[in-house]
Structure 1
Amino acid sequence: MLIPSVASLAIFVLSWWVWRTLKWVWFKPKMLESYLRRQGLVGTRYTPLVGDVRRSFSMLKEASSKPTKLTDDHISLLMPYSLQMLNTYGPVPVITIMNPYLIKEVCNKVYDFPKTHPSPLFALITDGLATSDGDKWAKHRKIIHPAFHFEKIKNMVPAFYKSCSELVCEWDKLVSSKGSSCEVDVWPWLVKLTGDVISRTAFGSSYKEGQRIFTLQMELAHLIIQALGKN
C-alpha cells in the first residue's frame, strides 16, 4: 500500500509542477496577450521566455555592422527595435519617460509601477536594484543608499581622479608611439575605467587586481547574449 501512495504523491507533485511551469511560461502570457489585443493594443506575438530579445539583438547586430557617420540618425543605430515598434504601433502600448524627476518617482513607487522582468538568463547578471520589486527593492535600496551619500561621493573624487589620470597617461603613451594620426577605440578603455573606479571606491583595490572577476563577468554576459540569440 505504501508504494502506490508514494507513486500517487509523486505523480501529483509532478503534475502540479508541470502545470505551474506551463502557466508561467505559456498560459498566463497568452492570456495577457489576448486581453491586450482585445483592447486594441497590437504588437509582436509572444515568444516563450525570451520575448522580443532575440528580435532586438538581431536588429542591433545588423545596425552595428553598418558604417556610420556623425550625421546619421543614431537612434536607429542604438535602438533599432524600439524605433521600429514606435513607428509601427505608435506610442500607445508603451510610455517612455525622459523627465528625470518622473523617472525617480516611478522608480520609488515600486508597489504601483512593477518592473518588467528580464529573461531568466539575464537574471544571472542583472538581479539587483534595477530589476527588483516591492520588499526586495526596498531592502536593496536600504543597503546601498548610504554608499551614495553626498559626503561619501565627495570622498571618492580622489579615486575618480587617479583612475582618469592613469587612463589619460595610457592614451598619451599610445598616441606618442603611433603618431598624431592614431585612432583609439575608446570603448574598451571606458569599460576598464568603470571597473577601476568601482574597484577603488568599493573594494579599495585597482582594476588590475580584480581584473579576473570583471573578465569573467564580461564572458558570462557574452555567453548569455549568445544563448538568447540562438533561442
Structure 2
Amino acid sequence: MCLVMRLNWLWLKPKKLEKFIRDQGFSGNSYKVLLGDMRELAKTTKDAESKPIGLSDNIAQPILPFHHHIITNYGKNSFIWMGPGPIINITDPKIVREIFKKHDIFQEQRSSVAKLLVSGMVVYEEYVTYDS
C-alpha cells in the first residue's frame, strides 16, 4: 500500500498533471522524478550571480534567471516543476483576471475618483490642523 502511494506521489500524479497542463495549452520541461526543475534552477541562478549587471542590461534576466529562461524558451504561458508539483506562469492579464473572477479573488474597484480625492483632502486637512 505504501509503495503504491509513493509511486502515485512521485510519478503517476505528476505525469497526469503534466498531461492536463499541456492539454490546456501550456508548455514546459518534462517532469523529472522528485527534483523537477530544481537542478536547472540552481544552475541558472548560479550562472546569473557570477555575472555583473550592466546599466543597460535587461533586469529580468539577472533577477529571475530561471523564469526568464523558461519564458524565453517556452513562452509566456508556461510551467515549471518544483519537486513533484507544477508551478504555472501566466502573464496574460486577461487570463489572470478571468481566473481571479472565477474564484472570487479579484473584485472590481467600486470607489470613484472624486470620492478618493475628497477623502484624501479631508485626511490632509486633519494632518495640517494637528501639526499647527
TM-score by length of 2: 0.55
More strand by share: 2
Encode CA deviations 1:112-170: one digit per residue, 9 max, x unaligned.
59xxxxxxxxxxxxxxxxxxxxxxxxxxxxxxxxxxxxxxxxxxxxxxxxxxxxxxxxx
Shift of 1:96: 4.5
1:95 counterpart residue number: 90
Structure 1 residues 181-202: Cα deviation after superposition (integer angstroms, max 9, x where no partner): xxxxxxxxxxxxxxxxxxxxxx
Q: CA–CA distance in 1 between the matches of 2:6 and 2:16?
A: 15
> Where does residue 78 of structure 1 map in the other structure?
63
Identify if the C-alpha distance between structure 1 residues 39 and 68 changes in structure 2 by more than 3 Å, giving closer, same or farther: closer
2:42 corresponds to 1:57: yes
| Alpha-carbon distance between aligned partners in 1 of 2:92 and 2:20, rounded to the nearest angstrom | 25
CA distance in 1, matches of 2:92, 2:21: 21
The separation in 2 between residues aligned to 1:22 and 1:36, in whole angstroms, is 20
Flag structure 2 segments of 5+ consecutive residues without an equivalent.
Answer: 79-88, 105-132
Question: Which of 3, 26, 30 is the equivalent residue of 1:45?
Answer: 30
> How many corresponding residue pairs?
88
2:120 aligns with none
CA shift at 1:36, angstroms? 2.6
Q: Measured at CA, do residues 54 and 73 of structure 1 come closer, stay the same or move farther in structure 2, by a change above 3 Å? A: same
CA drift at 1:38: 3.5
Closer/same/farther in 2, CA of residues 35 and 97 from structure 1, 3 Å limit: closer
- Pairwise CA RMSD of aligned residues? 2.7
Q: Give the TM-score, by structure 1 length.
A: 0.33
| Deviation at residue 83 of structure 1 after TM alignment | 0.9
Is residue 30 of structure 1 aligned with residue 15 of structure 2?
Answer: yes
